């Protein structure tokens, strides 16, 4: 099941951590845990929601490490802006207006960003988002609302 | 769904679709030997590590000032310190390999630093259609995102016996490595073509800014052995150029090295001059200046702006003279305070660190006898520091007495030989 979801999970991780190499590492790390855990669960299988939650948690760890490096004065590529040169294919797929939206998204707090990605890329329901992020449904609702408002504000003012 | 929601959905979908099926590194087979294993950690592991880190930090705060004071005082002490560096060097290094790729062609090989094993080879996109791939350079700023520079030579004209024109263009590509060494995303860089090259790439003369947004390349300015620095904005493809001001009568100038300060505001480069009479202006190759050591090389700093300028806009940090009659390579530390340089000192080739502000020598990292009549200037060496500035990749060949090649890394004053000892080419980046 994990293999079938591999591409989808890498894409989710790319949207959360901002660069592909790190995203692939996060997903590979989750896969390593799944391999170990699968042996113990012996056929019970793991739901896709488990994979999704594990990837979200893995991406949070990446952000924590980046924050620590930033505090130590090391240069850390900013989220979703750290593809210094997208491939020609990426460039064609990502028009400037979409880049602007992604830059604005990258400037949001981590929790709002996660909620928006899960809602508008993964098309998850509020209960599913709550499960993936480990927060209550009410918090999901308010986080989405504030995230959209902040995103709209950034796009309107051009502040990204 | 309102306008913002629609824009967000479209942007996320487009960004996700940029990760194409079949382009991501495959997962290892379950149960196979390559399935990554997580280290089992005891429940007390994290708290104990945290406590140990606090103790080490306190001890370090107490001890470091004393150690710095002790190391800083004997400026004239040329003993090679023996203490090894803490931590470890970058996991990978790039090698410009002469025959590592298909059909014995030249390409970039990525090797694991500890074992020397080739973890990836990068197929060379240049060459073909009558054009020749004549040289490869590589640079990186994070040991994950690499920029490869390919010198592509124009075809030799009919009726000539020469095999090389020396003329062509630089083509720049980017690729990334995962933590496990999987290669992804080999693609041309926007603005990554520099035409009008008259003598082709000097190894090491390219560097990415610490934030990964700009690439500085020392390239031909159109005349034989007259160089310029081109800074490519990797986001827009725009070029800013620094050229002129360093021309000298009957001498030709080349730039052997470029490196960025950690704040990305300045570039440091090494300018060398060679008596023009001994140049071979239309032939590329390692011995383009067969009698280097002009006694005039300069390490200069440039403030980088979007507009470009002249090569003389900055200041001279270090010049050849009695202390160092030859400077073969020089790179600035990420904090901008220290140069690491390959110099001639007496009859020896040495890698030393030098205070950028005063020119005072601080440490000798490597020292070996220089071959009779040989020089550390020219094509025969390369120095690169990692993003921390603590680990120095060092390749030297041609000039060491009785030891034709040294491929290694330097840290804490100790040289370490890179595995494997015999490479197919030259280590050029980490």
Neighboring chain B residues of A155 at a CB cutoff of 8 Å: 4, 7
Give the pLDDT score at A118.
93
Mutation site, A4, A30, A69, A84, interface B, largest B CB count within 10 A: A84
A149, A121, A27, A25: which is closest to B14 by C-alpha?
A: A121
Report the alpha-carbon distance of residue B96 to residue B91 in Å, rounded. 17
Report the alpha-carbon distance of residue A15 to residue A29 in Å, rounded. 17
Most confident region among A3-12, A93-102, B49-58, B344-353 by mean pLDDT: B344-353
Residue-range domain boundaries for chain A: 1-83, 85-160
- Minimal-distance CA residue of chain A relative to B16: A11
- Using the predicted structure, report yes or no on whether residue B123 has a pLDDT greater than 60: yes
CB contact under 8 A, A98 and B15: yes
Give the pLDDT score at A8.
86
pTM for the whole thing? 0.58
Q: What integer is the mean pLDDT of B41-61?
A: 53
Encode pLDDT of A90-119 as tens digits.
Answer: 455 457 778 788 888 888 888 899 999 999
Mean pLDDT across chain A, nearest whole number? 74
Encode pLDDT of A9-38 as tens digits.
Answer: 888 988 888 777 778 888 888 877 766 655
CB contact under 8 A, A94 and B210: no
Residue-range domain boundaries for chain B: 196-429
Chain A closest CA to B25's CA: distance in Å?
8
Of A33, A84, A105, the CB nearest to B38: A33
- Minimal-distance CA residue of chain A relative to B178: A21
Through-space distance between the first and last CA atoms of chain B, rounded to whole angstroms: 47
Residues 6+ apart with CB under 8 A from A129: A115, A118, A119, A140, A144
Write out the DSSP string of B105-145.
--EEEEEETTT--EEEEE-----BTTBEEEEEEEEESSSSE
State the greatest distance between any 2 C-alpha atoms of chain A, in Å, as a whole number: 54
Residues in A 35-94 with any Cβ partner in B closer than 8 A: 35-36, 38, 74-75, 77, 82, 84-91, 93-94
CB contact under 8 A, B178 and A87: no
| Least confident among A121-130, B42-51, B332-341 | B42-51
Report the alpha-carbon distance of residue B361 to residue B343 in Å, rounded. 11
- Minimal-distance CA residue of chain A relative to B208: A84
Chain A closest CA to B402's CA: distance in Å?
41
Does residue B136 or residue B420 have the better pLDDT? Answer: B136
Mean pLDDT across chain B, nearest whole number? 76
Give the pLDDT score at B195.
85
Tally helices (H) and strands (E) across chain B.
2, 24
Match domain B196-429 to its CATH number in 3.30.70.20, 3.40.50.2000, 1.10.3720.10, 2.120.10.30.
Answer: 2.120.10.30
How many beta-carbon contacts under 8 Å exist across A and B?
A: 143
- Minimal-distance CA residue of chain A relative to B20: A7
Chain A closest CA to B20's CA: distance in Å?
8
Does residue A11 or residue B19 have the better pLDDT? Answer: A11
Mutation site, B3, B7, B11, B38, interface A, largest A CB count within 10 A: B11
Q: Please give the helix or strand (H or E) that residue B214 lies within, else none.
A: strand B214-220
pLDDT classification of B351: cutoffs 50, 70, 90? very high
CATH architecture classification, A85-160? Orthogonal Bundle (1.10)
Chain A closest CA to B345's CA: distance in Å?
34
CB contact under 8 A, B212 and A82: yes
- Using the predicted structure, report yes or no on whether residue B174 has a pLDDT greater than 90: yes
Chain B closest CA to A13's CA: distance in Å?
9
Encode pLDDT of B253-307 as tens digits.
Answer: 888 889 999 899 999 999 988 766 554 444 443 344 555 556 688 999 999 998 9
CB contact under 8 A, B234 and A85: yes
Neighboring chain B residues of A95 at a CB cutoff of 8 Å: 14
Tally helices (H) and strands (E) across chain A.
8, 0
CB contact under 8 A, B178 and A24: yes
CB contact under 8 A, B234 and A20: no
- Minimal-distance CA residue of chain B relative to A151: B4
- Minimal-distance CA residue of chain B relative to A20: B19
Most confident region among B123-127, B181-185, B200-204, B402-406 by mean pLDDT: B181-185
- Minimal-distance CA residue of chain B relative to A21: B178
Write out the DSSP string of B312-355.
GGSEEEEE-SSS-SEEEEEEE-TTSSEEEEEEEETTEEEEEEEE
Neighboring chain B residues of A25 at a CB cutoff of 8 Å: 178-180
CB contact under 8 A, A25 and B178: yes
Chain A closest CA to B13's CA: distance in Å?
6
- Asked if residue B291 lies in contact with residue B277, where contact means CB atoms within 8 angstroms, the answer is no
- Using the predicted structure, report yes or no on whether residue B227 has a pLDDT greater than 70: yes
Of B12, B174, B387, the CB nearest to A120: B12
Of B4, B27, B185, the CB nearest to A148: B4
Of A3, A20, A120, the CB nearest to B9: A120
Neighboring chain A residues of B30 at a CB cutoff of 8 Å: 35, 38
ipTM of the complex: 0.80
- Using the predicted structure, report yes or no on whether residue B78 has a pLDDT greater than 60: no
Give the pLDDT score at B409.
87
Neighboring chain B residues of A157 at a CB cutoff of 8 Å: none
Give the pLDDT score at B68.
29
Residues in A 117-156 with any Cβ partner in B closer than 8 A: 117, 120-121, 148, 151-152, 155
Percent of chain B with pLDDT over 70: 72
CB contact under 8 A, B15 and A88: no
Give the pLDDT score at A24.
83
pLDDT classification of A158: cutoffs 50, 70, 90? low
Neighboring chain A residues of B145 at a CB cutoff of 8 Å: 21, 84
CB contact under 8 A, B12 and A94: no
Neighboring chain A residues of B7 at a CB cutoff of 8 Å: 97-98, 101, 155
A97, A148, A2: which is closest to B26 by C-alpha?
A: A2
Give the pLDDT score at A74.
39
Distance (Å) of CA B177 to CA B28, B180, B184: 17, 8, 6
* Residue B222, CB-side half-sphere exposure with 13 Å CA sphere: 3
- Using the predicted structure, report yes or no on whether residue B159 has a pLDDT greater than 60: yes
- Using the predicted structure, report yes or no on whether residue B368 has a pLDDT greater than 70: yes
- Using the predicted structure, report yes or no on whether residue B213 has a pLDDT greater than 80: yes
Q: What integer is the mean pLDDT of A50-73?
A: 69
């Amino acid at each position: 099941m994990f293999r079938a979801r591999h591409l989808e999970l890498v894409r989710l991780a790319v949207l959360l951590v901002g660069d592909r190499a790190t995203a692939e590492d996060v997903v590979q790390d989750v896969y390593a845990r799944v391999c170990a855990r699968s042996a113990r669960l012996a056929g019970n299988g793991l739901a896709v929601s488990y994979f999704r939650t594990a990837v979200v948690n893995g991406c949070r760890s990446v952000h924590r490490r980046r924050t620590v490096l930033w505090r130590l004065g090391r240069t850390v590529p900013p989220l979703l802006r750290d593809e210094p040169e997208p491939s020609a294919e990426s460039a064609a797929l990502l028009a400037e207006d979409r880049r602007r939206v992604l830059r604005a998204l990258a400037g949001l707090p981590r929790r709002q960003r996660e909620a928006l990605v899960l809602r508008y890329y993964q098309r998850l329901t509020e209960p599913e988002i709550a499960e993936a992020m480990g927060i209550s449904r009410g918090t999901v609702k308010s986080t989405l609302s504030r995230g959209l408002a902040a995103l709209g504000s950034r796009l309107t003012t051009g502040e990204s | 769904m309102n306008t913002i929601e629609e824009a967000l959905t479209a942007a996320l979908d487009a960004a996700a679709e940029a990760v194409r099926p079949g382009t991501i590194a495959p997962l290892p087979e379950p149960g196979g030997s390559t399935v990554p294993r997580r280290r089992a950690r005891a429940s007390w592991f994290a708290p104990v590590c945290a406590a140990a880190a606090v103790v080490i930090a306190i001890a370090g705060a107490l001890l470091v000032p004393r150690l710095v004071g002790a190391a800083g005082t004997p400026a004239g002490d040329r003993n090679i310190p023996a203490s090894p560096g803490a931590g470890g060097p970058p996991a990978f290094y790039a090698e410009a390999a002469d025959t590592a790729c298909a059909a014995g062609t030249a390409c970039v090989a990525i090797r694991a630093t500890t074992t020397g094993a080739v973890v990836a080879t990068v197929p060379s996109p240049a060459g073909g259609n009558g054009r020749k791939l004549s040289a490869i350079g590589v640079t990186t700023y994070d040991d994950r995102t690499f920029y490869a520079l390919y010198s592509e030579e124009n075809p030799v004209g009919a009726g000539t016996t020469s095999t090389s024109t020396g003329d062509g263009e630089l083509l720049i590509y980017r690729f990334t490595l995962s933590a496990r060494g999987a290669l992804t995303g080999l693609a041309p860089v926007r603005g990554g073509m520099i035409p009008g090259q008259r003598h082709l790439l000097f190894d090491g003369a390219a560097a990415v800014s610490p934030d990964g947004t700009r690439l500085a390349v020392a390239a031909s300015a159109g005349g034989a052995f007259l160089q310029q620095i081109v800074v490519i904005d990797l986001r827009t493809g725009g070029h800013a150029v620094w050229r002129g001001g360093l021309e000298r009568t009957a001498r030709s100038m080349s730039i052997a090295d470029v490196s960025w300060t950690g704040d990305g505001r300045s570039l440091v480069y090494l300018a060398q001059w060679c008596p023009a009479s001994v140049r071979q202006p239309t032939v590329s190759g390692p011995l383009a200046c067969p009698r280097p050591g002009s006694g005039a090389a300069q390490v200069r700093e440039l403030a980088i702006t979007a507009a470009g300028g002249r090569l003389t806009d900055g200041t001279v940090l270090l010049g050849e003279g009695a202390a160092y009659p030859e400077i073969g390579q020089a790179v600035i530390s990420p904090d901008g305070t220290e140069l690491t340089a390959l110099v001639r000192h007496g009859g020896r080739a040495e890698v030393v660190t030098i205070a950028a502000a005063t020119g005072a020598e601080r440490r000798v990292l490597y020292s070996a006898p220089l071959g009779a009549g040989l020089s550390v200037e020219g094509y025969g060496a390369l120095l690169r520091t990692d993003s921390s500035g603590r680990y120095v990749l060092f390749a030297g060949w041609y000039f060491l007495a009785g030891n034709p090649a040294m491929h290694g890394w330097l840290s804490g004053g100790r040289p370490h030989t890179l595995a494997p000892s015999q490479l197919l080419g030259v280590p050029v980046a980490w």
